[in-house]
Amino acid sequence: MRTFAAAAAVSSAIILGLSTAAPVHAAELDGLADAGFVSEPLTPADLSEEGATFGEEGPDSAAVSQPQGAPSAGVFYTNGDNVHISSTAPAAASGHGWWVKISGPGTKAKVTIELQALDYRDNKWKTVATGSKTVYSGTGSANRAAARKVCTNRVMQVQWRSRIDVDIIGVNDSPEKAVTKTQKLWCGAF
């Protein structure tokens, strides 16, 4: 099962695992649940990992700043495929991220994906590749960001995942990120 992040209204009004701090239309929540967009919420460990900073302005200092007084993002979900070995040579870990608008004013968003590998030396998740793209809502190849990391070897099994952030252009959205399910791949990262 993939992990999804769905958002409603401003900042803390995010649906993760279909719990929300802001009012959302029941029909919208039912639609997400019926479509299988149920996930475990991010844990404090996910939010405090190396390189991830969260505050009033959103994730990381390079995040797109949203104008004050901008409308709320409405309801959308963030998703990505599980990290996998790409079909093109050389062998590489690859992942894609996208967003789908359920309701709200935004039409385009900057989608950023971070490929992460679990470093066996200190048992911490490390971001080894990133990619971003400004795209319309949707799941097709034209509407997703990609990240790719060439395997350092094919004799070591490594745990991989991706984190996906969506910053909807011109509206206030939250700093939460979707995290895909961990995959064990024969693809060294370090």
43: which DSSP letter?
A: P
Total Cβ atoms within 10 A of residue 99: 33
> pLDDT tens digits for 133-144?
999 999 999 999
pLDDT bucket at 81, cuts 50 / 70 / 90: very high
pLDDT at 68: 62
In DSSP terms, 135 is beta-bridged to 109
pLDDT at 6: 52
Q: Which of 31-45, 46-60, 168-182 has the lowest mean pLDDT?
A: 46-60
- Distance, in Å, from the CA atom of 9 to the CA atom of 60, rounded to the nearest integer, reads 21
> pLDDT tens digits for 86-95?
988 899 999 9
Mean pLDDT of 160-177: 93
Q: Is 183 a residue whose pLDDT tops 50?
A: yes
State the architecture of 5-186 in CATH terms. Answer: Sandwich (2.60)
pLDDT at 58: 37
- Distance, in Å, from the CA atom of 177 to the CA atom of 78, rounded to the nearest integer, reads 8
* Amino acid identity for residue 4 in this structure: F
